[in-house]
Amino acid sequence: MGLENGTQGNTTYLNIKEGKLVYGPKDAKQTSDAVKGTITKVEFVMEQYNGEDSEKAKITIVDKGERFLLQMNVDSGYFRGFCNALRTGDPTAEVRVKPNYQVVDGKKKSTCFVEQNGKALKHAFTRENPGELPPVEKVMFKGKEAFDGSKAMTYWKNWLNSIKWAEVASAPVSESAGFPGNEDHQDDPF
């Protein structure tokens, strides 16, 4: 089974909340630490949450006949961490994705760890070694200085769209098995 923590069932939608995978109906939410399987598809969709537009990555992961739809905001540390780690591995091989959330010196920090063959993948790009990743730009927004990582988000989306994802047999998607929601929004640029 792809979910870890002794979970079971045909869960469809996985959202991230404070470093945990969250799934199930509102009145019976469950959590898991990680999801394991082979990525078979990544798509990007615009959704509204609390009256604001946000772009989500919907990552289909298949494991032993079960199909999971891992959803994360493109403008989040989870998405950046997921892409940055996956870039150093084989995106078409089995992965284990584990979100992480911490509050450090009052700042919220989120990322996703990606493992292959039992080892955590290192980040392809760092602040010290940004490589071809477009830099985060400081901009003024509503009279305050903010960070704009939209060029980096475009880079990661283009990279994910360039991959020929593996086709793996999967269980049919059951819309009633999980419910879409919204995970944490983070402003950590890496």
CA distance 177 to 190: 33
Helices (H) and strands (E) in the chain, counts: 2, 12
**pLDDT per residue over 34-57, tens digit each?**
999 999 999 999 998 888 899 999
Percent with pLDDT over 90 in the chain: 66
Indicate the pTM of the whole model.
Answer: 0.82
What are the extents of the domains in the chain? 3-170
Dihedral pair phi/psi, residue 47, rounded to 5°: -135, 160
Q: For residue 56, give both structure tokens.
A: 């989500």
Q: What is the C-alpha to C-alpha distance for residues 22 and 29, in angstroms, rounded to an integer?
A: 7
Residue with more model confidence, 171 or 14:
14
d(CA 38, CA 84): 17
Q: Which residues is 111 bridged to in the sheet?
A: 100
